[in-house]
């Protein structure tokens, strides 16, 4: 147990520390790198909880895909760091109130779970014990049966968001010579090559 | 005190030993992969290849290693020093930790975790950070262009690799790599899932930035892409990480589609050879194919690379996921 406890405190300290660095680092690229460190350590916390599927999905989705795109965008930005720091204190009240709200809500959730045993029983009921099925299987069995409509509509919302982003950002530029693979492949010798008899001294 | 020994120190030492048993041969394999690659490419080009250091140039990898150690590590003045130094270390460490879940034979695995394949997928999706960080921290145009190309390329091909893995998982019914190998006892998955095996192999080429998808380090246009500012051992770590990733991808192809440590047929002359030898020889065959491709094909154009990933492989692999699921349900083959 000692090892687990030590590991928990190490991971937790790294999550909190790197989350703090995300908002306080001077360079936005460093912020994103610290964000990745925070994600990675939260995945470690999930592993300690025995939720290995969630841990791996967290790394694959957030670190492997989302954060790469963040990093991509941030690296391409041409930012004046001095000007970026100027408005820092101006946003402090909004940020602090959002943080406070999140903290209160989290306390409420934990408080409800801790004070009413019924809720715990209801929340824990649908999954069989960890010794019977692995948690990947348990999650799948729940997501694709009991919560299938919620799951599918979440997927649809993401799809709509993706298509919306593409529609908004895509513009058809005139004058772009785009490669048409089918036109290239369907070209025949007859239309590509023309044989001409050239008389000496006349040209074509 | 005896408790401390029995519970922590002895298991800790045992784990350390297992790690060394995997990592040391792996590093030697990485070194000899460079020799193998140069020899095979040379044979295909009708050249000699390395033949001076040791018999048949067999000591060449060690000569290269010594050279890398003794050269000076140059830090570009405008580079972001910390990120610049972390990047090769990250690449190298990620290439090594992935081997923790690779089964070399029945039960011969450092950590036989339930979500082995997801772990590998997660580690390979982290691999892109080494390259992005290297390219960005170098503060050089060539390096940055290489890093951007690489990031877009690896993210694109990871999607189809994910779908290929899902297809295999549906057939096996488990995320554990040993289970995946054991499910291939009757027939290797390369036969029923041939199109997926091809998609996986080509995506593996793109994921490891190998020819014909080596645009991130295209030496004729970007010098060496994200590695251009690296020297001595920092370069050595990037290079070794890349080659270890290549061996890992070969190993993964073998596990997913070529039956891992299983012999081709479960009859006498094949079963005499132990599992790990089958596994390693299959990896060597895959590596040979990687080198063969390098000596054969010219580089892809970048827009065609993206088209192949998003417009050909993604729809194809999604279609195969649906098809496999349908077939499994229709013929009642769900594991």
Q: Are B155 and A69 inside 8 Å of each other by CB? A: yes
Given a cut of 80, whether residue B148 has pLDDT beyond it is yes
Mutation for A interface: B86, B89, B114, most A CBs within 10 A: B114
Of A103-107, B126-130, B280-284, minimum mean pLDDT range: B126-130
Count how many domains chain B has.
1
ipTM of the complex: 0.81
Q: Are B132 and A65 inside 8 Å of each other by CB? A: no
Q: Are A59 and B125 inside 8 Å of each other by CB? A: yes
Q: For A30-56, what is the mean pLDDT? A: 88
Alpha-carbon distance of B259 to B317, in angstroms, equals 21
Does residue B197 lie within any of the structural domains?
A: yes
pLDDT of A97 reads: 92
Does residue B165 lie within any of the structural domains?
A: yes
At A81, the pLDDT band (50, 70, 90 cuts) reads low
Chain B residues whose beta carbon lies within 8 Å of the beta carbon of residue A43: 122
Per cent of chain A over pLDDT 90 is: 19
Residue of A nearest to B162 (CA): A60
pLDDT of A125 reads: 57
Of A35-44, A78-87, B117-126, B306-315, minimum mean pLDDT range: A78-87
Does residue B212 lie within any of the structural domains?
A: yes
Alpha-carbon distance of B29 to B24, in angstroms, equals 9
User: Which of 1.10.238.10, 1.20.120.1200, 3.40.50.970, 3.90.950.20 is the CATH number of A1-79?
Assistant: 1.20.120.1200
> Please, are residues B292 and B134 in contact by the beta-carbon 8 Å criterion?
no
Q: Are A65 and B122 inside 8 Å of each other by CB? A: no
Task: Name the residue with tokens 């060394």.
Answer: B20
Say which residues have a Cβ less than 8 Å from residue A166's Cβ, sequence separation at least 6. none
Given a cut of 70, whether residue B33 has pLDDT beyond it is yes
Q: Are A64 and B158 inside 8 Å of each other by CB? A: yes
Domain interval for residue B314: 71-330
Q: Are A56 and B118 inside 8 Å of each other by CB? A: yes
Q: For B164-182, what is the mean pLDDT? A: 88
Q: Are A68 and B128 inside 8 Å of each other by CB? A: yes
Given a cut of 70, whether residue A168 has pLDDT beyond it is yes
Q: Nearest CA of chain A to the CA of B126: how many Å?
A: 6
At A121, the pLDDT band (50, 70, 90 cuts) reads low
Inform me whether the C-beta atom of residue B118 falls under 8 Å from chain A C-beta atoms: yes
pLDDT of A154 reads: 93
Given a cut of 90, whether residue B116 has pLDDT beyond it is no
Given a cut of 90, whether residue A101 has pLDDT beyond it is yes
Of A7-11, A179-183, B199-203, B268-272, minimum mean pLDDT range: B268-272
Q: Are A71 and B152 inside 8 Å of each other by CB? A: no
pLDDT of A161 reads: 94
Q: Are B115 and A63 inside 8 Å of each other by CB? A: no
Inform me whether the C-beta atom of residue B306 falls under 8 Å from chain A C-beta atoms: no
pLDDT of B7 reads: 75
Alpha-carbon distance of B231 to B224, in angstroms, equals 12
Provide the token pair at B165. Answer: 């893995």
DSSP A62: I
Q: Nearest CA of chain A to the CA of B127: how many Å?
A: 9
Give the mean pLDDT of chain A: 82
Per cent of chain B over pLDDT 70 is: 99
> Please, are residues B173 and B335 in contact by the beta-carbon 8 Å criterion?
yes
pLDDT of A76 reads: 77
Chain A residues whose beta carbon lies within 8 Å of the beta carbon of residue B113: 52
Given a cut of 70, whether residue B296 has pLDDT beyond it is yes
At A119, the pLDDT band (50, 70, 90 cuts) reads low
CB nearest A29 (choices: B8, B136, B162)? B136
Q: Nearest CA of chain B to the CA of A53: how many Å?
A: 7
Given a cut of 90, whether residue A13 has pLDDT beyond it is yes
pLDDT tens readout for residues B61-72: 888 888 888 888
Residue of A nearest to B83 (CA): A30
Q: For A38-49, what is the mean pLDDT? A: 89
How far are the Cα atoms of A14, B32, B67, B221 from residue B62, in angstroms, in the given order? 38, 9, 8, 30
Q: Are B148 and A57 inside 8 Å of each other by CB? A: no
Query: Could you tell me the residue ranges of all domains in chain A?
Result: 1-79, 84-124, 130-170
Q: For A26-46, what is the mean pLDDT? A: 87
Inform me whether the C-beta atom of residue B131 falls under 8 Å from chain A C-beta atoms: no
Q: Nearest CA of chain B to the CA of A191: how many Å?
A: 25
Q: For B54-82, what is the mean pLDDT? A: 85
Alpha-carbon distance of B214 to B211, in angstroms, equals 5
Q: Are B132 and A59 inside 8 Å of each other by CB? A: no
At B323, the pLDDT band (50, 70, 90 cuts) reads very high
pTM given for the model: 0.84
Q: Nearest CA of chain B to the CA of A64: how many Å?
A: 5
Does residue B2 lie within any of the structural domains?
A: no
**Long-range residue pairs from B105-111, CB within 8 A, at least 24 positions apart, any chain:** B105/B261, B105/B274, B105/B275, B105/B276, B105/B279, B106/B178, B106/B261, B106/B275, B107/B178, B108/B261, B108/B275, B108/B276, B109/B177, B109/B178, B110/B15, B110/B18, B110/B19, B110/B22
pLDDT tens readout for residues A122-160: 665 556 666 667 777 788 888 888 888 999 999 999 999
At B182, the pLDDT band (50, 70, 90 cuts) reads confident
A46-75 residues labelled b (16+ CB within 10 A) or e (exposed): bbeeebbbbbbbbbbebbbbebbebbbebb
Alpha-carbon distance of B195 to B223, in angstroms, equals 35
Does residue B34 lie within any of the structural domains?
A: no
Inform me whether the C-beta atom of residue B166 falls under 8 Å from chain A C-beta atoms: no
Residue of B nearest to A39 (CA): B126
Three-class secondary structure assignment of B294-319: HHHCCCCCHHHHHHHHHHHHHHHHHH
Chain B residues whose beta carbon lies within 8 Å of the beta carbon of residue A59: 122, 125-126
Q: List the Cα angle A166/A184/B317 in 5-degree steps.
A: 50
At B234, the pLDDT band (50, 70, 90 cuts) reads confident
Say which residues have a Cβ less than 8 Å from residue B234's Cβ, sequence separation at least 6. B73, B84, B85, B88
Given a cut of 60, whether residue A70 has pLDDT beyond it is yes
Q: For B12-16, what is the mean pLDDT? A: 85
Q: Nearest CA of chain A to the CA of B136: how many Å?
A: 7
Inform me whether the C-beta atom of residue B115 falls under 8 Å from chain A C-beta atoms: yes
Q: For B226-248, what is the mean pLDDT? A: 86
């Amino acid at each position: 147990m000692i090892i687990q406890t030590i590991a928990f405190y190490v991971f937790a300290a790294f999550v909190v520390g790197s989350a703090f660095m995300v908002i306080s680092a001077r360079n936005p690229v460093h912020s994103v790198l610290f964000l990745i460190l925070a994600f990675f350590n939260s995945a470690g916390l999930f592993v300690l909880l025995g939720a290995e599927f969630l841990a791996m999905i967290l790394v694959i989705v957030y670190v492997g895909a989302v954060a790469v795109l963040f990093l991509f965008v941030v690296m391409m930005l041409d930012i004046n760091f001095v000007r970026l720091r100027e408005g820092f204190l101006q946003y402090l009240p909004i940020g602090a109130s959002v943080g406070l709200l999140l903290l209160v809500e989290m306390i409420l959730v934990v408080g409800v779970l801790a004070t009413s045993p019924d809720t715990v029983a209801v929340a824990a009921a649908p999954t069989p014990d960890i010794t019977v099925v692995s948690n990947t299987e348990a999650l799948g069995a729940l997501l694709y049966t009991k919560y299938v409509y919620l799951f599918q509509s979440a997927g649809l919302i993401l799809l709509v968001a993706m298509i919306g982003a593409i529609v908004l950002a895509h513009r058809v530029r005139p004058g772009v010579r785009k490669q048409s693979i089918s036109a290239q492949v369907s070209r025949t010798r007859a239309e590509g090559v023309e044989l001409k008899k050239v008389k000496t001294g006349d040209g074509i | 005190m005896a408790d401390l020994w029995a519970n922590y120190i002895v298991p800790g030492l045992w784990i350390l030993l297992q790690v060394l048993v995997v990592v040391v041969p792996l590093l030697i394999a990485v070194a000899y992969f460079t020799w193998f690659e140069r020899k095979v490419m040379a044979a295909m080009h009708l050249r000699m290849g390395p033949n001076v250091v040791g018999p048949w140039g067999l000591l060449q990898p060690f000569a290269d290693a010594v050279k890398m150690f003794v050269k000076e590590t140059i830090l570009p003045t405008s580079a972001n020093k910390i990120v610049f130094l972390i990047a090769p270390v990250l690449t190298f460490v990620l290439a090594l930790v992935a081997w923790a879940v690779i089964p070399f034979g029945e039960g011969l695995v450092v950590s036989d975790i339930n979500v082995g394949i997801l772990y590998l997928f997660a580690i390979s999706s982290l691999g892109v950070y080494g390259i992005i960080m290297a390219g960005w921290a170098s503060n050089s145009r060539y390096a940055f262009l290489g890093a951007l190309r690489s990031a877009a390329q690896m993210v694109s091909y990871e999607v189809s690799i994910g779908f290929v893995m899902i297809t295999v998982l549906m057939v096996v019914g488990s995320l554990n790599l040993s289970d995946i190998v054991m499910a291939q006892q009757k027939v290797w998955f390369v036969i029923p899932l041939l199109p997926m095996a091809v998609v996986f192999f080509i995506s593996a080429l793109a994921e490891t930035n190998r020819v014909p998808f080596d645009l991130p380090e295209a030496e004729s246009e970007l010098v060496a892409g994200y590695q251009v500012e690296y020297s001595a051992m920092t370069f050595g770590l990037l290079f070794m990480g890349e080659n270890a990733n290549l061996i890992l991808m070969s190993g993964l192809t073998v596990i997913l589609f070529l039956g891992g440590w299983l012999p081709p047929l479960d009859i006498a002359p094949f079963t005499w050879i132990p599992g790990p030898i089958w596994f390693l020889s299959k990896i060597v065959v895959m590596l040979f194919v990687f080198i063969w491709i390098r000596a054969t094909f010219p580089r892809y154009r970048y827009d065609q690379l993206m088209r192949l990933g998003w417009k050909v492989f993604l729809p194809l692999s999604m279609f195969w996921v649906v098809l496999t699921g349908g077939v499994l349900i229709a013929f009642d083959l769900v594991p």
